[in-house]
Amino acid sequence: SQQGEEDPQALSIQEGENATMNCSYKTSINNLQWYRQNSGRGLVHLILIRSNEREKHSGRLRVTLDTSKKSSSLLITASRAADTASYFCATKTSGSRLTFGEGTQLTVNP
């Protein structure tokens, strides 16, 4: 199975609500990254959290990392319709490869 697994697979919320997506992984990592994808095309890097960090913020994004549980969460606060997209976590081990999860499809309803 994939190194990174997100849940839920799909999430539908109303504009203004917070959205939380989770990611679990299996092996030790160097860092964990979250990406966003619109319309099945190129991915855009959102945020990176290193293995020695526990929480990181960027604008309306908050990422947490629990290496003991091998899990991470991405919180989007005060969601907007424009946040509708697929969100992927990706883990980086000692090599340079990123291993992506299956993604969470977020729909924010106006």
Question: Of 33 and 79, which has the nearer Cβ to other proteins?
Answer: 33
69 lies in the binding site for other proteins (CB under 8 A)? no
Give the residue, chosen from 8, 51, 97, 109, that forms a contact with other proteins under the rule CB under 8 A: 97
What distance in Å separates the CA atoms of residue 28 and residue 103, rounded to the nearest whole number? Answer: 20
78 lies in the binding site for other proteins (CB under 8 A)? no
What distance in Å separates the CA atoms of residue 4 and residue 21, rounded to the nearest whole number? Answer: 12
What distance in Å separates the CA atoms of residue 90 and residue 82, rounded to the nearest whole number? Answer: 22
Question: Do 13 and 79 contact (CB within 8 A), yes or no?
Answer: yes
79-91 burial, b at 16+ Cβ within 10 Å, e below that, comes to: beeebbbbbbbbb
43 lies in the binding site for other proteins (CB under 8 A)? yes
Taking CB under 8 A as the binding criterion, the range among 20-28, 53-61, 73-81, 88-96 that sits at the site for other proteins is: 88-96
25 lies in the binding site for other proteins (CB under 8 A)? no
Q: And the tokens for 99?
A: 């291993």
Shortest spacing between CB 12 and other proteins, in angstroms: 16
Residues that bind other proteins (CB under 8 A): 2, 4, 31, 33, 35, 40-45, 48, 88, 90, 92, 95-103
